[in-house]
Structure 1
C-alpha cells in the first residue's frame, strides 16, 4: 500500500504532461533567475497578436472586442491557453489542462456570434481559469491529494454551469496545497507553485496556483475560494485584485473541499484579476444567473444597484474609512505599514479637495480570540478527515510546507484527536457571541466618524508581510477574522517592497531574529534573515465591509483604488 500513492502521482503527472502541446514547450530560465515575469514576452512563443490579447489588462476591453468580433473567441482562448502553459513551466501553477475542449467551446461561440449577431451572455468568449476544487464533468478535482487521482467528476459544479451559461470558457484548473488548509501552495501530487516575481518566495495559498497564473497574465480572470484568506493572501502576494464575498452570496455547490459539512465556517467563492472592472463584471454576471436556483445555500439576493451607489453609506458623498494599523497581536512588516500610510494620505488629500472622505483609526476587537475559536472549530474533526483522505493509498501528510524534505507524520495543519459535539457547540456559541460584540463595536464608531453613520469600511493588512520565503508564512489572522465574522473583504494592490523599506530594516531591526514580532513577546515570528529577500515583492491591502455588502465594498474599493491612482500614478 505504501507505493500506491506514488503510482497515482506518476500516472497523473504523465497525463498532465501529455495534455501540453509539445510545440508550446519553452527553455525555462535557470533557478538563479528569480523574476520570471518577463519570460512570456521574451520566450518567442507568443505572436504579437497573442501578446496584445494577453497583455490587455482590462477584462471589459477583452469582452468588448469579443462582442464586436474584433477578436474571435478561438484566438483569445488559444492565446491565453498558450500563455498559461508558459506560466506553468515557469512557476508550476496548473493541475488540469484541457486546451482542445476549450477551443471547441470557443468555436461554438464564434459560430453563434457570426450566425445571430448576438453574444451568449455577459462573459461571451472570455477564458476563465478555475482553482482545482471546481468540478468539471469528466475531469479530476484532486485538491492536492494523490489519493484523489482517478475521481472523475460526474457533473459540473454550479459555478461552472453558470460560467457556461454566461458564455465563459474554462480552460485550465490551478494548483493548491495538500488538504487545502494552508497559505502556501505545495503538495505531493503536482509539487510547489512559486511566486513569479521572485521564485524564492511563496505565491500564497490556497489559491496560489490561480494567482501565480494570473500574475503572469496566463488568465484574464480566475475563480478561487476563501476559508481563511485563500483568495486574499495570494492576491496580495501577486499584486492582484481578489474579492471574498460573504459565504452565502456565490455558489459553492460542486466544489471538492476540506471540512465539508462544517456549516459554522463556510468557504466563500470569489474572483481574482488584474482588472478591477473584471471583478465587477464577474460578480454581476454570476449573480444575474440567480445562483440560488443551483445552490440551496446561496442567499436569493439580486445585484443591487442602490447598494453599489452606496445608498446606505451616504450616497458615497462623505465616506469614513478606518485604518487598522495592526490586529493587536502581530505588527505588520514595514512595507505594509508604508502602504497603509500611502492610503491614509491619499484619502486625506482627497477629503481636502472635495470628496469629503473621513479617515479614522480602527481599534481591533478580540482578534486573537476569534483566531483561537476558529482553530478549535477547524480542528474539531480535521484529523479524522485528513486520515480518511489519505490512508487508503498510504499518502503521507506533509508536516511543513518549507523547502526541506518532509517525512510522513503530523500534518502541517495541526490536528487533534477531535472533540465532542457538545464541545463544538460551545465553540460555535462563543463565535456567535463574538460576532454580536463585533457588530456592537462597529456600530459604536458612529461617535467618532462625524458622518452620522458608523465607519463605512475598514482598510488594513491582508497579511502581516509581503510574500515570504517558502514555508515561512505562519500568521493568517489578518484575513481569517473576517471569515469568522462572514464579512465581505477584498484585496487591492498598493505598492512594492523597495529600498526605502530595506533601509528601515537596517536601522531598526539590527540584532532582531525576525522582522515581525508578536507583541506579547512570548515568541518571535521569523520571516527572513536577508532584507533583500523581499525587494520588488507586491504589497496589497484589504478593504472590509459587513455581511452581504458585496456591492458596497466593491464600490468603495473602486473609490480607494481611484484615489490612490490619482495620488501616486500606476502602482504595480
Structure 2
C-alpha cells in the first residue's frame, strides 16, 4: 500500500519507492528507539532518587537507634502527646531537650512512612542544626520544634521535584526564605513530604515515590497536593508542617486527614525559593501556610514567622507583624454562612458540619447571617480554570511528555492533551446533557491573546469587588462554609477536579481561609449519601457519591474565611469553632 502511494506521488523522481519506504521504516524505528531511551533515562533517574531516599531513611534510622541506646529511659509517648504550644514552651525553658524531641519525631516519622509512604526524604542536616541550637543564647518561638516541609519548598542540598522526573536535577543551592526564617526561629526542618505529580491534583501520588495513604483508612487518599504533610502530621510523625495552596492544597488534606490548616493571603508569607511547575501564574493566587493538630499551633507558627527576619529576607512581603490583639479579641462576631455554593453539592456530612457549627456559634452569642457566594460556576470555570490553564495546559503537558504519567493523573492529563479545537467541539456536543463538563472543557482551552489575558485579569478584579461589596453590605466579620470531604477513595481525585469549588473560590478571591475538624462521618450520613443527587444529578455528582462512600468514622471539617490580610481574625474564628466543637464532643 505504501509503495503504491509513493509510486503515485513521486512519478517525476527517479527514486525507488521501496528505498523511501525503507527510510521511513528506519526513521520510525529510530523514533521508537529514542522514545525507549528517553523512558529508560527517566526510569534510571527515578531509581536513583528512590535509592537516595532509602539511604537517607537508613541513615536517620541508625541515628535514632544510637539515641535510644544512649538514652534508654526516654519516654516518647510523653513528647508525642504534647500540643505544639506546650511542647515549644518546654523546649524553650529547657525541661525538654531538643535532641529527645527531634529523635522522637524522626522515629515516629519513619514508622509513619513505612505504613503510609508520606515522607519523600528525611533531612540528615537536622542533626547539624541540632548541634547549632545548643550554642544559641537567644531562643526563638519555635526553638527545637521539629517541622516538616512540602517537597517543593527548597532546602539546600536537596531536590524540589513537584513529583516530576524532569525536576530530578541538581539539588537546591540555598534554602527557601520560609526555611531560613524557621531556622532563625529555632525550628528544625527534618522531613520533606510527598506530593502528587505536578501538584495539580488533590490526591498524593507520583511515578517516582509512589502513593501516599490516609492514616485513618488506607483505602482513602490523604488529599493533596500537600498530602504527604497531611498524612505525616495526622499519623503523629510531625507536629508542625508546611503546605502550599493554589486550589485547596492545604485545606483539602487538612479536611481529609482531620487537621487544622491555614491558607493565608497570597503574599502574607514568602514564596521565594518555592518551586512551581507553572512559574509566573498570576491569575490564581498561590500561597504557603501551616498545618498542625490544633489552631493554637497555627497561631504560634504565624506569630513566629511574621517578624523582622521574614520582612528583611523578602522585601516583597508586606511588613505586617502578627496582630495579637485581633487574635485574642473576644467580642461576638457577625458570621455569614452557607451550606452549599450551588455549584457542587457536597456530601450530607459536610453540610451537617456547617449546620451544627452554625448552631453552636449562635448559642455562644455570635450573630449568624445567611450568605450566598455569587456565581460560583462562573468563578470555577471562567476565572479559576481558564486562569490556571491560560496556556491551554501546554506547560504541564510538556512536562508530562518528559515523564511517566502517574495512573491517578491520567484522566486529567488526557483531558489536557486534547487539542483546543477538539475541546471546543466536544463542549458544544455535550452541553445539552452535561453542561458542567462543557464549561470545564471550554475553560481548559485557556486564553487566546494578551488582550484576552488582560480582560481575564480585569474580570477577576471585578468579581472580587462584587464579592467584597456583598460581604460589606451584610456587615460580616467572617464566613463559615463547607470544605470538600470526607476523604476520597484512592483514584477518584483525578476524575473530579471541579469538585474543589469550595476551596477554589477563595484562591480566586485571595482571601485567607482555614479548615477545622468538627465531627466525624456517621452511619446516618452514610445512609443519606445513598440519596445524594447533587445540584445537577450528572456523572460528576454520581462519581462524588462513589468517591466518599464507606467513610464512617472519618474526619469532617468546616471552612473559616476572612477578608484579605486578616489571618489573625481567621485564626480567632477557627479557634472559636474548634473550642465549641471540642466542648460538644465532651458533652455527647
Q: Same fold (TM over 0.5)?
A: yes
Gaps of 5+ in 2: 1-37, 63-71, 419-439
- What is the match of residue 385 of structure 1? 395
Judged with a 3 Å threshold, the aligned counterparts in structure 2 of structure 1 residues 459 and 380 are, in CA distance, closer, same or farther, namely: same
Query: For structure 1, which segment, 230-239 or 61-70, has the greater mean C-alpha deviation from structure 2 after superposition?
Result: 61-70
The structural deviation recorded for 1:416 is: 4.2
Structure 1 residues without counterparts, runs of 5 or longer: 26-45, 311-315, 352-356, 446-453, 510-514
2:81 to 40, 49, 55: 55
Alignment of 1:15-30 (within 5 A): 15-21=52-58, 24=61
Moved more, 298-307 or 155-164: 298-307
Tell me: CA distance 1:531–1:408, structure 2 relative to 1, closer, same or farther (3 Å): closer
Check if 1:562 corresponds to 2:570.
no
Q: 2:481 aligns with which of 450, 456, 460?
A: 460
Q: Secondary structure at the match of 2:125?
A: helix
Asked if 2 retains the 8 angstrom alpha-carbon contact of 1:166 and 1:285, the reply is yes
> Which segment drifts farther, 287-296 or 82-91?
287-296
Superposed structure 1 runs of 4+ greater than 6 Å apart: 406-409, 411-414
**TM-score, normalised by the number of residues in structure 1:** 0.84
- Taking a change above 3 Å as real, the CA distance of residues 529 and 270 of structure 1, as seen in their structure-2 partners, is closer
Displacement after TM superposition at 1:23 (Å): 9.3
Deviation at 1:147, TM superposition (A): 1.5
Deviation, 1:384, is 2.9
- State the match for 2:404 in structure 1: 396
Looking at structure 2, the residues matched to 74 and 358 of structure 1 have their Cα atoms a distance apart, in angstroms, of 47
Is the 2:533–2:542 contact (alpha carbons within 8 Å) kept by the matching residues of 1? yes
- Other-structure match for 2:12: none
Specify which of 159, 169, 177 is matched with residue 158 of structure 1. Answer: 177
Which position in structure 1 is the counterpart of 2:468?
439
Query: What residue is the counterpart of 1:499 in the other structure?
Result: 523
1:67 aligns with 2:92: yes
Asked if the contact 2:447/2:453 (under 8 Å) is kept, the reply is: no
1:470 partnered with 2:490: yes
**Do the aligned partners of 2:166 and 2:399 also contact (CA within 8 Å) in 1?**
yes
Structure with more helix by fraction: 2
Q: Give the corresponding residue for 2:161.
A: 142
The residue number in structure 2 matching 1:78 is: 103
**Contact 2:140/2:184 (<8 A) preserved:** yes
For residue 41 of structure 1, what is the aligned residue in structure 2?
A: none
Which stretch shifts more, 529-538 or 216-225?
A: 529-538
CA contact (8 A) 1:396 1:409 kept: no
Partner of 2:129: 105
Q: Secondary structure at the match of 1:459?
A: strand
1:50-106 per-position Cα deviation (integer Å, ceiling 9, x unaligned)? 1221232x11111111122222111111111111111111111111212x3212211
Q: Work out whether residues 231 and 242 of structure 1, in 8 Å CA contact, stay in contact via their aligned partners in 2.
A: yes
Distance 1:468 1:424, change over 3 A: same
Q: Cα offset for 1:419?
A: 2.8
2:23 is the alignment partner of 1:4? no
Count of matched residue positions in the alignment of Structure 1 and Structure 2: 514
SS in 2 for 1:236: helix
Per the TM alignment, residue 347 of structure 1 is displaced from its structure 2 partner at its CA by 1.3
State whether structure 2 residue 151 is matched by structure 1 residue 132: yes
Deviations 1:243-288 (A, max 9, x none): 0110010111000112221223221111000022111111011002
CA–CA separation in structure 2 for the residues paired with 1:317 and 1:523: 42
Cα distance in 2 for residues equivalent to 1:417 and 1:550? 32
- Tell whether 2:327 aligns with 1:327: no
Secondary structure of the residue aligned to 1:299 is coil
C-alpha change, 1:125 and 1:498, in structure 2 (3 Å) is same
- Check 1:226–1:13 CA distance in 2 against 1; reply closer, same or farther (3 A cut): same
Separation of aligned partners in 2, 1:408 and 1:368: 23
Deviations 1:103-126, CA, capped at 9 Å, x for gaps: 2211321x226xxxx443111000
RMSD in angstroms over aligned alpha carbons? 2.6
C-alpha contact 1:126 1:168 (8 A) present in aligned 2: yes
In structure 2, distance between residues paired with 1:382 and 1:3: 29
Q: CA contact under 8 A between 2:347 and 2:529: conserved in structure 1? A: no
